[in-house]
Amino acid sequence: MHKLLYIILFSLIVSNCSFQQVVKKHGVRNLEEKQKKLTINKSNKNDIQKILGPPSSKSTFDNDLWIFIEREIRNEKLFKLSKQKITTNNVLIIEIDNRGLIVDKLFYDINEINDIKFSSLNTKKKYKRNTFIYDFLSSMRQKINDPLGKRKKTD
């Protein structure tokens, strides 16, 4: 009886495990192939809507800018404890003139997108603890946190 219970329990655990890799897709699928169907000065907004669908974001300055995004994230191997890796990261920027025709299109894949480097410098505070403003704001904070004045004071 115990062997049968163990076999059933083991088969339930194994049947619920998935050996296929989990893939999360976001945006327009196959963006690289679909963007090749669009031609500059011939395709219009309706063609874009048919081929790519609605844009991920729009910008209206002098000309319309439509931005389409494709992103694919896969879980890495079991030994890496399901860390995620970006395998596809494509961006298509289409510039449309006031007549609705494509003026320019720029396609960026994962290799052409630049890494953003952030500054490691820290901002220093410009106030001191013994100033009037610091004392005033500290007392206001204390009154907001303890309106009846029953808590123990901490600085």
Enter the tokens of residue 12: 């339930």
Domain extent at residue 81:
21-118
Domain contains 33: yes
Q: Which of 14, 68, 74 is CA-nearest to residue 38?
A: 68
Least confident of 67-71, 114-118, 129-133: 114-118
Domain contains 74: yes
pLDDT at 16: 57
* pLDDT tens figures, 78-111: 566 667 888 888 999 999 998 989 999 999 888 8
- For the chain, how many structural domains are there in total? 1
DSSP-derived 3-state class of residue 120: coil
d(CA 89, CA 79): 24
d(CA 36, CA 30): 11
Beta strands 102-108 and 84-96 are antiparallel
Domain contains 150: no
Answer yes or no: are the C-beta atoms of 40 and 103 closer than 8 Å: yes
Domain contains 100: yes
